[in-house]
Amino acid sequence: LVLQGKLAKEGRWQEYQQGAEGYICSCIQKGSFNIRRTPGGLLWWQDGNNLQYTSAATFILVAYAGYLASAGGAPPLQCPGGAAKPTELVHFARSQ
């Protein structure tokens, strides 16, 4: 709802968006605390886990890339490790 402009980008809703953007940055290895990857590049949380976290992260990356692309000239996602354009998010998601 925040991304669709139906809720104000302030208070609790802004915190949710900032948290989601921080998570996305960590997935694409541009965050302050990046998510581990296997030697082959797959996002990996804990030994013994199935791929539900990787699948969810991939979905979030593609959904947020769609939001950025539909925003028509919106600035790219600003991560601590540099900016990330929608095409970069999709490229990373495809690598998973």
Single-letter residue type at 43: L
Q: Tens-digit pLDDT profile for the chain (96 aa)?
A: 656 666 666 778 788 889 999 999 999 999 999 999 999 999 998 877 789 999 999 999 999 999 888 877 678 899 999 999 999 999 999 999
Alpha-carbon distance 26 to 36, whole Å? 9
Residue 60 token pair: 């979030």
Matching residue, tokens 């959904």 = 63
Q: pTM of the prediction?
A: 0.85
74 CB-near residues (< 8 Å, 6+ apart):
68
Residue-range domain boundaries for the chain: 11-95
